[in-house]
Structure 1
Amino acid sequence: MQNQRNSVPKFLLLGRALFVLVFFTPTWDGLEAAQVTFKPPRLPAPRQSTGGASRDGNNCLMAENVGDTASITALLPSSRIGLTVKERPTILVYIPPTTAKTALFSVHDEQAKNHYQKTINLPAKPGVMAIKLPNSAPGIKPGKNYQWSLAMICSSELEPDSPLVSGWIQRVQYPGGLKNQSNSSPSLELASHLAKQGIWYDTIFELAKLRQAEPHNQTIQSSWQQLLNAVGLNAIANAPLAPRSTYLTYGDE
């Protein structure tokens, strides 16, 4: 009888332990989804050029504070080329402190034929700006390389030494398992899947949308910083996003 009475608390303790393990242990799926690790694809160099370009010029760039990045910078790996699954993708560019109010955004194919061109407004404060190819523009074709550029207009018109940045983009088909998520809300899980497939432009834009929606979420902020640091963009890893009014400049034309 004494042994039976002592055995009851043991079963209760075991049950409580199992309850804690099942209901309060964090799932590995959630932790894995937060790891946005970019795997660069092997892409041949575009035929028309050796890669993207960057030109600071000396007309209208300025560093207001110690630590400010004074260069216009594409959010791209060092190869200056990235993939997208979007027909009309979004490109992220860091805009430094500048007196320029507008810039010329252009897209060309490998034969240097003009695909799209428009003058756009720049944000009033330095930060990461998103430029989306609008619905009124022709979409980019799968398997083709396109070069985009953003040139600041420092005076009344574009000049030879105007600050400029450019990069390359190629559209690919949706990897397996991602097509059904194309219109879903942004998530770290989707960003993680895109990164593993080497889809740079859409990975970084997913994280940018998450940062915009949850600016105080430390997990999202950490994922953003780690991704930029991994491709050598440490100098702008902590840069703010441009205000929402300019952030999706051509998001829904």
Structure 2
Amino acid sequence: MMMLSKSSFALISLSMAFSVAFGGSAGLTNPANPGAAERAIAQNELPTDWNVFETPEGAPGRRIGGGTRGNCPKSASGMIALVPENNLGLTLSNTPTFLFYVPKIDEASSGPIEMEFLLVDESDPENVQEIYQQRVPLPTGGGTIALTLPDDENLPPLQVNQLYSWYFSLICNPKALDPSILSLGGWIERVEPSPTLTQELEPLTSRDRIAVYERELLWFDAIGTLAQLLQDNPNDPFLRPKWNALLESINLSEVAQAPFLNWEQEQTSNRDRPSLQKP
């Protein structure tokens, strides 16, 4: 993993700000309601409550944009992370998919806006480590954006049973010395499947795996798989109702009909990207 240098002051500032707001560094998840997931699995029911795991030190995270500041347009506050209300989700994958809704924003009146995604290991506050970073221009029109971590040998694998912090930001006038930044944040944890679960998943198609992911409360696997299938097969009569139901289960049905937008895979290195604030 790569230690942050002095040139990454902006990331440290952003990361520390969220750590304070969210209640500190990450720790292992524990069931907030012991037995709830097991009962759902035993009854073969799809979960209606994805919030059965405690977030770090009980911190809430942030999945919906707050008030704007500086030169960010008011409409930018409508951005939403497609995650459970406790902002924490589990995955089996080393290359999970993160999804965000971004409202339509008129850049003609607000100036240029960029999106930035960060995945950070904050388990040691004295040694905050950036795992992955990408910044691209805001796409035209509002909609849902999917970002999948690449299968890259230079990208350190996500460790099992460790929480990672993620941040999604809109950066208004990014070339300014002190640009305005609106950010969402939460956590993801990679878990190890049991031999029984591995055996169950192996023969299934991606479509059939969705129900198993839901049953096992694997949020990022369920929504990431469904989003990919829906983009590949937009007219499939099964997938759209399934998507609507999944977002309704986390009380985000208002963005279920948003179109999918492309996240251009143009990664910006730490060295080349402008500072987000004065050092």
Q: Equivalent residue for 1:177?
A: 197
Q: Equivalent residue for 2:87?
A: 80
* TM-score calculated relative to the size of structure 2: 0.64
Q: Equivalent residue for 2:212?
A: 193
Q: Please tell me whether residue 42 in structure 1 is matched to residue 61 in structure 2.
A: no
Asked whether the equivalents of residues 94 and 128 of structure 1 are also in contact (C-alpha less than 8 Å), the reply is: yes
Q: Please tell me whether residue 52 in structure 1 is matched to residue 70 in structure 2.
A: no
Q: What aligned pairs does 1:110-125 form with structure 2 within 5 A after superposition?
A: 110-112=123-125, 113-114=128-129, 115-125=131-141
Q: Per the alignment, do residues 94 and 56 of structure 1 end up closer, same or farther by CA in structure 2, a change over 3 Å counting?
A: farther
Q: Please tell me whether residue 144 in structure 1 is matched to residue 156 in structure 2.
A: no
Q: What aligned pairs does 1:103-114 form with structure 2 within 5 A after superposition?
A: 103-109=115-121, 110-112=123-125, 113-114=128-129
Identity among equivalent pairs (%) = 25
Q: What aligned pairs does 1:8-19 form with structure 2 within 5 A after superposition?
A: none
Question: CA RMSD of the aligned region, Å?
Answer: 3.0
User: How far apart are residue 164 of structure 1 and its match?
Assistant: 1.4
Q: Per the alignment, do residues 157 and 81 of structure 1 end up closer, same or farther by CA in structure 2, a change over 3 Å counting?
A: farther
Q: Per the alignment, do residues 36 and 137 of structure 1 end up closer, same or farther by CA in structure 2, a change over 3 Å counting?
A: farther
CA distance in 1, matches of 2:54, 2:91: 15
CA distance in 1, matches of 2:202, 2:147: 19
Q: What aligned pairs does 1:58-97 form with structure 2 within 5 A after superposition?
A: 58=69, 59-61=71-73, 71-97=78-104
User: How far apart are residue 233 of structure 1 and its match?
Assistant: 0.5
Q: Per the alignment, do residues 247 and 184 of structure 1 end up closer, same or farther by CA in structure 2, a change over 3 Å counting?
A: farther
Note the alpha carbon deviations across 1:212-243, whole angstroms, 9 max, x for none.
1111122210000011011111221111111x
Asked whether the equivalents of residues 152 and 163 of structure 1 are also in contact (C-alpha less than 8 Å), the reply is: yes
Q: Equivalent residue for 2:10?
A: none
Q: Equivalent residue for 2:5?
A: none
Q: Equivalent residue for 2:171?
A: 153
User: How far apart are residue 56 of structure 1 and its match?
Assistant: 4.6
Q: Which runs of 5+ in 2 are unaligned?
A: 1-43, 268-279
User: How far apart are residue 249 of structure 1 and its match?
Assistant: 3.9
Q: Which structure is larger by alpha-carbon Rg, 1 or 2? A: 1
Asked whether the equivalents of residues 172 and 180 of structure 2 are also in contact (C-alpha less than 8 Å), the reply is: no
Q: Which residue among 226, 231, 237 is the counterpart of 1:207? A: 226
Q: Per the alignment, do residues 108 and 169 of structure 1 end up closer, same or farther by CA in structure 2, a change over 3 Å counting?
A: same
CA distance in 2, matches of 1:250, 1:86: 23
CA distance in 2, matches of 1:248, 1:177: 34
Q: Which runs of 5+ in 1 are unaligned?
A: 1-34, 64-68
Aligned residue pairs total 207
CA distance in 2, matches of 1:78, 1:249: 28
Q: Which residue among 216, 238, 251 is the counterpart of 1:232? A: 251
CA distance in 1, matches of 2:263, 2:210: 19
Q: What is the letter of the counterpart of residue 206 of structure 2?
A: P
Q: Equivalent residue for 2:149?
A: 133
Asked whether the equivalents of residues 61 and 185 of structure 2 are also in contact (C-alpha less than 8 Å), the reply is: yes
CA distance in 1, matches of 2:223, 2:137: 22
Note the alpha carbon deviations across 1:166-195, whole angstroms, 9 max, x for none.
1210000124334674797531x1111101
CA distance in 2, matches of 1:181, 1:233: 28
- Using the TM superposition, name which of 72-81 and 154-163 deviates more: 154-163
Q: Per the alignment, do residues 57 and 157 of structure 1 end up closer, same or farther by CA in structure 2, a change over 3 Å counting?
A: farther
CA distance in 2, matches of 1:127, 1:171: 27
